[in-house]
Structure 1
């Protein structure tokens, strides 16, 4: 995604002691065995604040996507514990874990993952349809209005732009009112304008609706929409920043790049 540094309003913040939506303790994710064993995550302790927007950054291979996948119950852990709210999810059997992800977690990926034969509204309500739950119509209408899709609900994905398709994906994640939404490079396939719109919708969902969002990104502008940025390197959290600007994030990333070249 090609972006220009911009400013934007933000109402959320890091002030006060926030409740914890998800947390990990002593989290290790390893691949291989013996001399070829590699730790993608190396003893991570982290709390994700409820009702806040957290960005996870780091160079390729730092473990940022692995951390998100473990926190979201999409990947198993080698050691340590992961909690959603007060409930430990490490060690849950597949059926219970699938139900937990369906009922309590939302996902937004770089690929929009829409069903081509369904229209926008049907894609938005699909997870609830699968779960046998009727959507809250007032809430659904509010979500649709917030992401600007009111005039596009009958359109199929191939009739929508990339930005509009990602708006559908955002609305799908919000519509079920999950406890936490995980985004993996959600603006990676969008141009700067569409990306800014999607990030604005995510920011609004935190400020207006109290949504909790965790987003993996490599983009300083995307990270600047967050309340807090976590930096990973070699499978460990090595730094964090609150109320970031794009310029501050970019400078911090340059510092890490410089350290990597001299180490």
Structure 2
């Protein structure tokens, strides 16, 4: 394992999720690409972590493997003490449904359902009833109380993403994975979503892992992990937007990027 892939700033909290020597290869022979090349890291329980890197760095692949949406070529992903590589398809489906939350850039709401029905959908699929006190706490935290009866087409982009965020939290998952959650939003709506994610960590003890290219978004987190060419190349604790920009500029030169702009 490259030295850069050994976590230099381990979390002070027990890990909610972790990767051990994660390898993900696409193609064969001359077309072989290692999207992840021996990545090992931990995501501490009750912490907000951002994953950043230039286009093709492996950050989305890392999130998909950690969230059981993709299978690594080798290595191990753990959710708590459970090794995902030892689970069959049905067990993985249950794990994704019951223990993992997702917030994606495209919202992924069902257009024919109301906001309330979209929020409750994962629980309905699992045959579970929502905890009313928790449902109310989440809905009030995202400011959707007056919009629960509206369908997605009647909501603004920011409101739709708030519905998606509430849906990810309503089942009380162990980890929420957010893939560019503010990518389709204006700055004001994006700030509202990030403030909610921050509050869910501080007030609810949620664990959140967010892929982003936005230094301002990363400034809401507890830690930033930087990837390049399938490796962890640096980390930053207690980030601010300015410190992230400075780090991105230095890493851009290190990994051959002509500009300090980190895309997906």
Structure 1 length normalisation: TM-score? 0.93
TM-superposed CA distance for 1:16, in Å, is 7.3
Which residues of structure 2 form unaligned runs of 5+? 1-8, 259-264
- Partner Cα distance (1:190, 1:25) in 2: 34
- Partner Cα distance (2:193, 2:39) in 1: 29
Q: Deviations over 1:115-135 (max 9, x none)?
A: 010000000000000100000
Please say if residues 228 and 255 of structure 2, whose CA atoms lie closer than 8 Å, have aligned partners that are also in contact: no
1:63 aligns with 2:58: yes
Correspondent of 1:76 among 71, 92, 95:
71
- Partner Cα distance (1:225, 1:252) in 2: 16
Please say if residues 11 and 44 of structure 2, whose CA atoms lie closer than 8 Å, have aligned partners that are also in contact: no
Correspondent of 2:176 among 155, 178, 181:
181
Please say if residues 10 and 42 of structure 2, whose CA atoms lie closer than 8 Å, have aligned partners that are also in contact: no
Residue 205 of structure 1 corresponds to 200
Q: Deviations over 1:19-46 (max 9, x none)?
A: 1100111100001112321100000000
Alignment of 1:6-21 (within 5 A): 17-21=12-16
1:128 aligns with 2:120: no
TM-superposed CA distance for 1:90, in Å, is 1.6
TM-superposed CA distance for 1:182, in Å, is 0.1
TM-superposed CA distance for 1:183, in Å, is 0.4
Structure 2 length normalisation: TM-score? 0.92
1:225 aligns with 2:220: yes
SS in structure 1 at match of 2:110: coil
Q: CA RMSD in A?
A: 1.5
* Runs of 4+ residues over 3 Å off in structure 1: 260-263
Aligned length: 250
1:239 aligns with 2:234: yes
Which residues of structure 1 form unaligned runs of 5+? 1-13
